[in-house]
Chains A and B, each alone.
Chain A
């Protein structure tokens, strides 16, 4: 599998106290562990099992994922912005790999 690529959409600036919408996508096959290959053998499970978003080190939103989540997991959620800072996004793979991305935001 190619290295998963995260993509993030959020505003560059917000008013203090504003609730913004954040959208994230990451490329990943989310192999469910229920599919069989051509020889009829089960293809082992490999999914992203945890996604989290922190702002300046504080937890904002997270999700535990099961194999029922689609390939290229998509999340849309909100965040209340009280100060300028940095959002950090983390995806944890079954194989132990961790993928991260960061996005700054300014406050008007």
Chain B
């Protein structure tokens, strides 16, 4: 708890409303369900410049049981949009990992859009801290 000689000055941030709107737009206005999609991210970021995030959606990835795309949003960044993954039957599984920037502690939101139009969401708070201290 003593590494505090340079806190970043924050630019203007997206807000929770902008993120909700972006989620709704991606989901085509559908009320998202939960449970089918899992977003994995660290509880506390080791480095806000490169935070690993993974999504995984339960799906056979064939026929009508197909995940078309998964969008990632972050409600405390300058803009909520982070990435959109597009899957195909050749993906085999609807899972992907990338690394993202987090300007401060915020929620990361993952939204899956299925071929049948249904939408699923998961979110996780990732803390960005200045760190220090310990036992």
Residues 8 to 37 of chain A near chain B (Cβ within 8 Å): 19-20, 32, 34
Q: A-B pairs with CB below 8 Å: how many? A: 95
For A67, list chain B residues within 8 Å (CB). Answer: 78-79, 101
For A73, list chain B residues within 8 Å (CB). Answer: 98-99
For B85, list chain A residues within 8 Å (CB). Answer: 61-63, 77
Known: A79-B90, A80-B89. Is A69-B82 also a contact (CB below 8 A)?
yes
For B83, list chain A residues within 8 Å (CB). Answer: 63-66, 68-69
Task: Give the dominant DSSP class at A's interface.
Answer: strand
- The segment from A52-60, A88-96, A99-107 that touches chain B is A52-60
Residue of A at shortest CB range from B96? A77
For B89, list chain A residues within 8 Å (CB). Answer: 80
Give Cα distance in the complex from A65 to B100, angstroms: 10
**B79 in contact with A68 (CB, 8 Å):** yes
**A68 in contact with B84 (CB, 8 Å):** no
**B101 in contact with A32 (CB, 8 Å):** yes
